[in-house]
């Protein structure tokens, strides 16, 4: 049964009216869900990227919820999902835990998975475990390349066995907000965020658990292995690539997509890394017309 204590989620948190909590296998998940009453309504799962949370779907979630059942989750070690240990933060373990959550809340079948950045990687890992894979996987700026130099400049020194300890993460949670590092990190995505859109990131990176989860999740990723396994997933792939993305550069990403996803549809769009937050209307257009199998 859901644990209804959502006191850990600020009242002003984006789309909080959809927030629910569920304890599964040692993790106390925070997720947002809108259950569409229509029997034929498809179920869409939204998976955010490293260092983010459900808030990255603030504008997209309610639009999709008009015609679909929509679930957005905080990954283990991110946002307001609590209880993650380092062993829970490997992408394979995240996929197993997420599958258990979906079964527990009675959504073992997902029609469409939409991931952003490393959330696309999670979509692949989850699909490999599903008895019935999704009909469509949509990846927005998929994180299929090593972290960029800009990311490494800000966060790279933090990803090592000493810094990823709980003690150092706690220290960083108290000091990072004072340095302006989060705003510099957001600016390095080459996405123009409003002041309001920056607030959730600043709040999240005040939390030790969020810093610890973000750092260890990135450190535990094994992208080449995941890409090799992705050929086993029988689904339709759609990838949206931001031309001005400085984190996942088009020049490095396109050859990978051509190699591992030769049948995929690829859209090259204007924008930086945070497409779901900045290019909401274009993302919605691609998502909806893909779901309805209409040409764009």
**DSSP letter assigned to residue 74:** P
Q: What is the pLDDT of residues 218-243, one digit of tens each?
A: 766 788 999 999 999 999 999 999 99
The whole-chain average pLDDT of the chain stands at 88
pLDDT score, position 192: 92
Q: Residues of 45-54 as b/e, b for ≥16 C-beta within 10 angstroms? A: bbbbbbbbbb
What are the structure tokens assigned to 255, written together? 């050859």
DSSP per-residue string spanning 30-68: EEEEE----TT--EEEEE--TT--GGGGTTHHHHHTTTS
pLDDT score, position 79: 96
- Could you give all domains of the chain from N- to C-terminal order, each with its CATH number? 16-145+222-291 (3.40.50.1820)
Q: What is the pTM of this model?
A: 0.91
pLDDT score, position 164: 47
| Cα distance between residue 75 and residue 175, in whole Å | 24
| Cα distance between residue 216 and residue 280, in whole Å | 29
Residue 79 — left, alpha, or beta (φ > 0 → left; ψ -120 to 50 → alpha)? left
pLDDT score, position 296: 47
What are the structure tokens assigned to 243, written together? 């031309």
| Cα distance between residue 248 and residue 146, in whole Å | 8
């Amino acid at each position: 049964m859901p644990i209804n204590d959502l006191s850990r989620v600020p009242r002003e948190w984006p789309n909080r009216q959809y927030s629910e909590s569920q304890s599964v296998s040692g993790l106390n998940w925070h997720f947002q869900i809108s259950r569409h009453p229509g029997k034929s309504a498809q179920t869409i799962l939204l998976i955010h990227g490293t260092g983010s949370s459900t808030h990255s779907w603030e504008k997209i979630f309610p639009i999709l919820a008009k015609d679909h059942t929509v679930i957005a989750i905080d990954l283990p070690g991110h946002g307001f999902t609590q209880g993650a240990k380092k062993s829970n933060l490997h992408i394979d373990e995240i996929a197993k835990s997420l599958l258990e959550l979906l079964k527990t809340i009675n959504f073992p079948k997902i029609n469409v998975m939409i991931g952003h950045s490393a959330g696309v990687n999670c979509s692949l890992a989850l699909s490999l475990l599903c008895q019935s894979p999704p009909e469509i996987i949509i990846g927005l700026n998929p994180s299929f390349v090593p972290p960029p130099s800009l990311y490494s400049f800000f966060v790279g020194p933090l990803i090592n066995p000493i810094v990823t300890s709980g003690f150092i993460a706690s220290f960083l949670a108290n000091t990072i907000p004072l340095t302006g590092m989060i705003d510099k990190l957001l600016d390095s995505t080459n996405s123009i965020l409003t002041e309001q859109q920056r607030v959730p990131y600043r709040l999240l990176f005040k939390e030790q658990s969020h810093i610890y989860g973000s750092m260890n999740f990135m450190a535990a990723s094994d992208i080449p292995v995941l890409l090799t396994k992705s050929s086993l997933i029988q689904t339709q792939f759609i990838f949206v690539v931001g031309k001005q993305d400085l984190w996942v550069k088009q020049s490095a990403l396109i050859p990978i997509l051509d190699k591992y996803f030769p049948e995929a549809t690829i859209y090259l769009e204007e924008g930086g890394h945070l497409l779901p937050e900045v290019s909401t209307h274009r993302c919605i257009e691609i998502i909806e017309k893909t779901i309805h199998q209409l040409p764009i």
